[in-house]
Amino acid sequence: MSQTLYIPTDFANKFRNLLSLPQNEQQAAAAAFWSNTDFSFTEEWNSRFGPNSLFDAWTCCSLMQNIYTSNALILKSWLSKRRGWRVIEIGGGNGALWSHVLSPQDEGELIVIDPVPEVHKQVSQRLPAGVKFIPIQAPVETVTLSEADAVVCSLTLHHLAGIDTCERSKHGLTGSGKLEVLSQIAQALKPRMGLAILNESDMYSDLDLPPNDPVLVDHLLEAYVRRVGLSLFLDAEALVNDPKNLIPRWYAIIHQWCVGQVFKAHVPIAERDVYELNLSRWLEVLRRAGLTVIEWKCTDNFGLFYRYLLKPSLEDNVNLNQV
């Protein structure tokens, strides 16, 4: 059920003012912006995926549309050469990618791994009749991947804290980190010499930065407020007609998620929610996982989201123990 939305008074001016402040004043200003903006909007970000949700509006913003169109270009061409293809998607969201990739006549198999039941419902509704849908309702780190022609992992791995098990254990966390999941992706691709697409931001907020670290605060401000927030804000300013009611939902995302993320710098490490890596660390962990990066490129004008095209490395250079 969608909520009634209204735009708080002077939202645009207040956010513009926040962005124009000297960077060392923005943390305090973000806190004031958060508490002084009356948004009486209770839908939690990233928890609902249906039509009219905040996530639905997020998938319509230019940052995400750029990701979907650039991923679709690669996937369409790759899958057209593979009859009876099997694709694994890790973290399905609302399935928006598949509306860009698949045509009514397409046939294949899509396995979606995601712990949220609503995600599977949303993705299945986007698929043509000839695509068999296999939902796996679980976190990827608990799943053994089957062989595949392609694996797509877009803006999902940053939810998994730590580069690897070893780094996680130093912070009292058990189980797999990013490396172990990426190694599984490499193994899943090998039998069919498949292709993987990884989309992630170039921003560091992983376990090395402890709660309250000013560097962590600044990285979160930079990525979520100065880049994602600005991009959403400019999208809203550029929209002349808004039949989908995107502008209030984009503003709600700026308020709840972009500005709200800055406060995650002060919560216990296990509650941070986003554990991002910068470009050089992604390249290193991909190499260690046995994945060769064929190409990496930024998909937006903000230097934020990168798309990595990956193939399994021919030599067996997986090194799960290297710190």
Ligand X SMILES: C[S@@+](CC[C@H](N)C(=O)[O-])C[C@H]1O[C@@H](n2cnc3c(N)ncnc32)[C@H](O)[C@@H]1O
Residue 54 touches ligand X, criterion: CB under 6 A: no
Q: Which is nearer to ligand X, 75 or 140 (CB)?
A: 140
Cα 60 to chain centroid, rounded:
14
Q: Which is nearer to ligand X, 27 or 59 (CB)?
A: 59
Q: Which is nearer to ligand X, 18 or 64 (CB)?
A: 64
In the bound complex, what is the minimum distance in angstroms from residue 90's beta carbon to ligand X? 5
Spatial neighbors of 272 by CB under 8 A, at least 6 apart, are 161, 205, 211, 264
Residue 61 touches ligand X, criterion: CB under 6 A: no
Q: Which is nearer to ligand X, 8 or 135 (CB)?
A: 135
Residue 223 touches ligand X, criterion: CB under 6 A: no
In the bound complex, what is the minimum distance in angstroms from residue 115's beta carbon to ligand X? 6
Residue 156 touches ligand X, criterion: CB under 6 A: yes
Tell me if 97 sits within 8 A of 152, measured CB to CB: yes
Spatial neighbors of 72 by CB under 8 A, at least 6 apart, are 97, 100, 101
Tell me if 71 sits within 8 A of 152, measured CB to CB: yes
Stretch that binds ligand X, among 14-22, 90-98, 161-169, 251-259 (CB under 6 A): 90-98
Residue 93 touches ligand X, criterion: CB under 6 A: yes
In the bound complex, what is the minimum distance in angstroms from residue 268's beta carbon to ligand X? 18
Residue 90 touches ligand X, criterion: CB under 6 A: yes
Residue 140 touches ligand X, criterion: CB under 6 A: yes
In the bound complex, what is the minimum distance in angstroms from residue 17's beta carbon to ligand X? 28
Applying CB under 6 A, among 12, 116, 166, 234 the residue interacting with ligand X is 116
Q: Taking Cα atoms as reference points, which of 276, 130, 134 lies closest to residue 208?
A: 276
Residue 91 touches ligand X, criterion: CB under 6 A: yes
Stretch that binds ligand X, among 125-133, 135-143, 167-175, 261-269 (CB under 6 A): 135-143
Q: Which is nearer to ligand X, 91 or 177 (CB)?
A: 91
Spatial neighbors of 283 by CB under 8 A, at least 6 apart, are 293, 296
Q: Taking Cα atoms as reference points, which of 111, 106, 54, 47 lies closest to residue 82?
A: 106
- Tokens 């046939």 label which residue? 107
In the bound complex, what is the minimum distance in angstroms from residue 47's beta carbon to ligand X? 9
Alpha helical stretches, state H, the chain: 11-20, 26-36, 54-58, 62-80, 96-101, 117-124, 165-170, 178-189, 214-220, 230-238, 246-253, 260-262, 279-288
In the bound complex, what is the minimum distance in angstroms from residue 28's beta carbon to ligand X? 28
Q: Tell me the site size for ligand X, rule CB under 6 A.
A: 19
Stretch that binds ligand X, among 85-93, 228-236, 278-286, 301-309 (CB under 6 A): 85-93
Residue 47 class from Cβ within 10 Å (0-12 exposed, 13-18 middle, 19+ buried)?
Answer: exposed
Tell me if 63 sits within 8 A of 302, measured CB to CB: yes
- From edge to edge, which strands make up the β-sheet containing 150-154? 131-136, 108-113, 85-90, 150-154, 195-201, 305-312, 291-298
Q: Which residues bind ligand X (CB under 6 A)?
A: 59, 90-93, 96, 113-116, 119, 139-141, 154-156, 159-160
